[in-house]
């Protein structure tokens, strides 16, 4: 049985000997321009069906959230709390791509140069499966359909999944979901088929600003820590990492983030804990209740012989 | 939007509620963070029929060992019916029902559903054998069939005892199953839910015995029904009031209505069971109330979990409290 809590190497814990380094994503939201190239590339490469056309009235977000048919989701948050330093960073990122071409709005009024006229700030973040060190989805799956790859990622084998839906309720991030029409569970595979060939996952490949970075997790963690340093020096004091800490409630995420506001503002749980951490205690309580049942039955029948 | 929203007690109500200090929290357009369970009411119905089958197995084994033939027969047949219904509810709730058997190709200790499938399978086989043994008197006494007919009661007792041994696990694993999720109000209830489900199972199993057996034999079933009802009421009260903000979904909305109905039905059924020990009619009515109460409890628990997943407040506020940064 795999361990249920604490910092571990998930591939080794799952029984791989000689596993390659753990791979993951570092998503730096400070340079996300909200182009949704990641959403599109993911759908294209993985042949994910469309999820209907909805106008949600939530800024530029008409995807809504991660689902069986959306494995990347770009969140848009408009805030009346300008952060000039963060806007400078975003501006520079925008300048590296032709936003005109992508049909994207600019984060400031056309023609404005300086820091004036910024009474709004835009947060954008591309969300994805966290490929948790302790993955609730994987722990509870009763068929073995969800499994740990040699890269430390978490993947569904759709030919085994029977659609029990347990993983959906077990994910602390609300990532994995059951597809209506085919009844099976789906989520990001961290492009298992691509990384096995030494390629970069489709979303990271498509990202024009390197907001989505793919690589060895150890290396990404170092890079992310440096990035936070740089941003703090530039005055973006609100920059912080999310999901990078192997001592957190899920043993650290394989896909972690640099955020500019609290996690819940982006739709992320502030302190996720893998539900199976408490599984031994759950069984103990159930055991006491079960013993009580048996004792009640014995007493009820022995107490009164006919 | 992402503005701060006040989260606190909703709705007016009785004075015995635990005060939850109003808290502010932020979210992404008020959208849920965790996914609500994709399960339907079928799963709540399964918790009820599974509990009924487990309670009945205990009653049947006790009746068998103490020579209460009518109580044994009714409890075994109730168990069989409940197992058949359970199988149906379990399978239809899968996205791919034809792949049900995929769960019997692995045994995974970290998955309560995997463990539960094995408990259910073993329990069903044993309880099913016990129920089939009830057909022995209907078979001819002579020839090969007669031989089988004479062996059946022995097999039935063995099956019945095995089923009774597995019954407590059968009744309580479902509480572990729903607690082992990120659904806020289910997970928080994990120390209490097994007692809710154990009580509910005893109440329903005892109730079925009270309905099906003459009062002269139904005494122990009545005792179990009353004890189960008391446990169900006490443990449910804890779930409804002792978990701070995460108790709120059990008191409000559809879950609140169902659990209030469950309380009335279960309490009335228990009183009826105590007072009506000499009247078959009163016993049957009380039994009916207890069964309905048990079902309403399961449905209420199910609805409360769903409601807690749908509102980001129940994910964000307790986690913020844990971090000490609310
Ligand atoms: S984020 Fe959810 S779906 Fe992804 S590995 Fe973790 S528990 Fe599983
Ligand atoms: S829905 Fe599929 S992947 Fe999810 S827990 Fe059930 S069998 Fe496993």
Q: What is the ipTM of this complex?
A: 0.93
Provide the pLDDT for residue B1.
39
Q: What angle do CA B30, A31, A175 make, to 5 degrees?
A: 40
Give the pLDDT of chain A (306 residues) as one tens digit per residue: 678 888 889 999 999 999 999 999 999 999 998 889 999 999 999 988 887 777 777 777 888 888 988 999 999 998 887 788 888 888 888 888 765 555 555 566 656 666 666 677 889 999 999 999 999 999 999 999 999 999 999 999 999 999 999 999 999 999 999 998 889 999 999 999 999 999 999 999 999 999 999 999 999 999 999 999 999 999 999 999 999 999 999 999 999 999 999 999 999 999 999 999 999 999 999 999 999 999 999 999 997 655
Residue found under tokens 């799963």:
B43
What are the tens digits of pLDDT across the range A119-156?
778 899 999 999 999 999 999 999 999 999 999 999 99
> Which residue(s) pair with A70 in the sheet?
A67
* Nearest protein CA to atom 6 of ligand 2, as residue: A164
Q: What per-residue confidence (pLDDT) applies to B9? A: 40
Helix (H), strand (E) at residue B85: helix B69-92
DSSP structural state of residue B29:
T
Classify A10-275 by CATH class: alpha beta
What's the CATH architecture for B34-323? Up-down Bundle (1.20)
Q: What residues contact B222, with CB distance under 8 A and at least 6 apart?
A: B206, B209, B210, B273, B274, B277, B283
Residues 63 to 122 of A: which have CB under 8 A from any B CB? Answer: 64-65, 75, 77-79
A-B Cβ pairs (cutoff 8 Å, strict): 255
Measured in angstroms, the CA of B190 and the nearest CA of chain A are apart by 6
Q: Confirm if A148 and A11 have CB atoms less than 8 A apart.
A: yes
CB B306 within 8 A of CB B27: no
> Closest partner residue to B223 among A145, A271, A300, by Cβ?
A300
How far does CA A227 lie from the centroid of its chain? 20
The alpha-carbon gap from B73 to the nearest alpha carbon of chain A, in Å, equals 16
Distances (CA, A) of B325 to A37, A55, B93, B321: 35, 34, 39, 6
- Which token pair is B15? 């004075």
**A77 and A123 Cβ atoms separated by less than 8 Å:** yes
Kindly tell me the sign of the dihedral angle through the C-alpha atoms of A5, A8, A11, A12: negative
Distance (Å) from the alpha carbon of B143 to chain A's nearest alpha carbon: 35
Give, using CA atoms, the residue closest to atom 2 of ligand 1: A171
pLDDT tens across A288-305, in order? 999 999 999 999 999 765
- Secondary structure element (H or E) that encloses residue B220, with its range: helix B219-241
Nearest to A270 among B108, B220, B323 (CB): B323
Considering only CA atoms, give the Rg of chain B.
Answer: 22
Residue A42 annotated as binding?
Answer: yes
C-alpha span between A224 and A239 (Å, rounded): 11
* Contact criterion met (CB below 8 Å) for A206 and A38: yes
DSSP state, A236?
Answer: -
DSSP line for A40-55: HHHHHHHTPPP-----
- What is the A245 CA–ligand 1 centroid distance (Å)? 16
Residue spans per domain, chain A: 10-275, 277-306
Work out the angle at residue A220's Cα, subtended by the Cα atoms of residues A214 and A222, and round it to the nearest 5 degrees. 165
Of B26, B58, B320, which has the smallest distance from its Cβ to A265's Cβ? B26
β-bridge mates for residue A146, sequence order: A156
Closest residue of chain A to B199, computed from CA coordinates? A293
Instruction: State both tokens at B226.
Output: 């009353």
Regarding the beta carbon of A163 and ligand 2, being less than 6 Å apart is answered yes
Which residues of chain B, if any, have pLDDT below 50?
1-3, 7-17
- The answer to the question of whether A119 is labelled as a binding residue is no
Report the candidate in A66, A24, A14, A26 with the shortest Cα–Cα distance to residue A185.
Answer: A66
Q: Please choose from A71, A132, A161 the residue to mutate so as to test ligand 1's pocket, defined by most ligand atoms within 8 A of CB.
A: A132
pLDDT score of A51: 76
Contact A169 B109 (CB under 8 A): no
The reply to whether A75 sits in an annotated binding site is no
Nearest to B164 by CA among B75, B47, B291: B75
Judge whether A300 is closer than 8 Å to chain B, CB to CB: yes
**What are the C-alpha distances in Å from A265 to residues A32, A125, A197, B112, B282?**
16, 11, 36, 33, 57
Closest ligand, as measured to the CA of B181:
1
Cα–chain-centroid distance for residue A56? 22
> What is the per-residue DSSP string for A151-186?
TS-EEE-TTT-----HHHHH-TTS--EE-TTT--EE
- As given in the structure block, the two tokens for residue B189 are 């209830």
Whether residue B5 contacts residue B313, with contact meaning beta carbons closer than 8 Å, is answered with yes
Contacts 24+ apart (CB under 8 A), B94-97: B94/A162, B94/A163, B94/A164, B94/A165, B94/A183, B95/A161, B95/A162, B95/A163, B95/A164, B95/A165, B95/A178, B95/A179, B95/A182, B95/A183, B95/A184, B95/A185, B95/B38, B96/A161, B96/A162, B96/A163, B96/A183, B96/A184, B97/A162
Alpha-helix runs per DSSP H in A191-255: 192-195, 202-206, 217-233
DSSP state letter for B22 = -
Secondary structure class of B23 (helix, strand, coil): strand
**A121, A182, A249, A270, best to mutate vs chain B, most B CBs in 10 Å:** A270
Q: What token pair was written down for B221?
A: 């079933």
Set of chain B residues whose Cβ sits within 8 Å of the Cβ of A162: 94-97, 99-100, 102-103
**DSSP label at residue A250:** T
Whether residue A38 is annotated as binding a ligand: the answer is yes
Q: In the prediction, which pLDDT does B8 show?
A: 43
Euclidean distance between CA atoms B301 and B89, whole angstroms: 17
Residue B259 corresponds to which tokens in the numbers above?
């659990």
> B323 vs A283: CB contact, 8 Å cut-off?
no
Nearest to B37 among A169, A283, A294 (CB): A169
Q: Nearest chain A Cα to B313, which residue? A: A264
CB–CB of B257/B304 below 8 Å?
no
């Amino acid at each position: 049985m795999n361990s249920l809590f604490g910092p571990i190497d998930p591939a080794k814990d799952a029984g791989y000997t000689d596993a390659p380094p753990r791979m993951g994503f570092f998503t730096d939201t400070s340079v996300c321009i909200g182009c949704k190239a990641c959403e599109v590339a993911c759908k294209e490469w993985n042949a994910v069906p469309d999820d209907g056309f909805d106008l949600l009235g939530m800024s530029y977000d008409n995807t809504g959230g991660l689902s069986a048919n959306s494995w990347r989701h770009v969140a848009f948050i408009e805030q009346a709390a300008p952060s000039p330093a963060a806007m400078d960073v975003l501006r520079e990122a925008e300048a590296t791509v032709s936003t005109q071409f992508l049909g994207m709005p600019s984060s400031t009024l056309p023609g404005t140069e300086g820091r004036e006229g910024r009474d709004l700030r835009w947060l954008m973040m591309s969300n994805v499966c966290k490929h948790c060190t302790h993955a609730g989805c994987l722990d509870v799956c009763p068929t073995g359909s969800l499994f740990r790859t040699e890269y430390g990622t978490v993947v569904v084998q759709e030919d085994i999944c029977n659609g029990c839906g347990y993983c959906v309720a077990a994910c602390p991030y609300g990532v994995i979901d059951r597809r209506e029409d085919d009844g099976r569970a789906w989520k990001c595979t961290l492009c298992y088929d691509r990384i096995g060939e030494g390629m970069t996952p489709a979303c990271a490949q498509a990202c024009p600003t390197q907001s989505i970075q793919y690589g060895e997790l150890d290396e990404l963690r170092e890079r992310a820590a440096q990035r936070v340093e740089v941003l703090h020096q530039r005055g973006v004091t609100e920059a912080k990492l999310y999901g990078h800490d192997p001592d957190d409630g899920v043993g650290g995420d394989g896909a972690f983030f640099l955020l500019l506001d609290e996690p819940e503002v982006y739709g992320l749980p502030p302190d996720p804990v893998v539900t199976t951490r408490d599984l031994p205690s759950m069984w103990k309580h159930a055991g006491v209740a079960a013993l009580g049942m048996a004792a009640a039955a014995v007493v009820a029948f022995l107490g009164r012989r006919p | 939007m992402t503005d701060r929203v006040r989260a606190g007690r909703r709705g007016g109500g009785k004075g015995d509620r635990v005060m939850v200090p109003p808290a502010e929290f932020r979210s992404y357009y008020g959208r849920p963070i965790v996914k609500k369970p994709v399960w339907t009411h079928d799963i709540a119905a399964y918790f009820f029929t599974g509990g009924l089958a487990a309670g009945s197995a205990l009653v049947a084994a006790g009746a068998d060992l103490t020579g209460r033939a009518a109580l044994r027969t009714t409890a075994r047949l109730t168990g069989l019916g409940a197992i058949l219904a359970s199988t149906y509810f379990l399978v239809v709730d899968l996205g791919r029902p034809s792949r049900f058997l995929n769960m019997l190709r692995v045994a995974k200790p970290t998955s309560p559903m995997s463990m539960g499938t094995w408990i259910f399978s073993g329990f069903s086989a044993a309880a099913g054998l016990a129920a089939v043994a009830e057909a022995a008197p209907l078979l001819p006494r002579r020839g090969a069939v007669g031989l089988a007919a004479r062996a059946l009661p022995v097999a039935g007792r063995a099956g019945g005892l095995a089923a009774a041994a597995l019954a407590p696990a059968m009744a309580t694993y479902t509480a572990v199953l729903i607690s082992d999720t990120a659904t806020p109000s289910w997970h928080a209830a994990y120390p209490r839910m097994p007692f809710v489900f154990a009580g509910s199972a005893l109440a329903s199993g005892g109730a079925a015995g009270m309905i099906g057996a003459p009062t002269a034999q139904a005494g122990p079933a009545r005792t179990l029904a009353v004890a189960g009802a008391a446990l169900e009421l006490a443990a449910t009260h804890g779930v409804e009031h002792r978990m701070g903000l995460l108790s709120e979904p059990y008191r409000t909305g559809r879950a609140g209505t169902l659990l209030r109905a469950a309380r009335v039905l279960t309490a009335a059924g228990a009183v009826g069971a105590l007072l009506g020990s000499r009247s078959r009619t009163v016993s049957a009515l009380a039994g009916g109330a207890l069964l309905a109460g048990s079902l309403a409890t399961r449905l209420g628990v199910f609805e409360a979990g769903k409601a807690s997943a749908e509102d980001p407040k129940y994910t964000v506020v307790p986690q913020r409290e844990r971090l000490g940064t609310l």
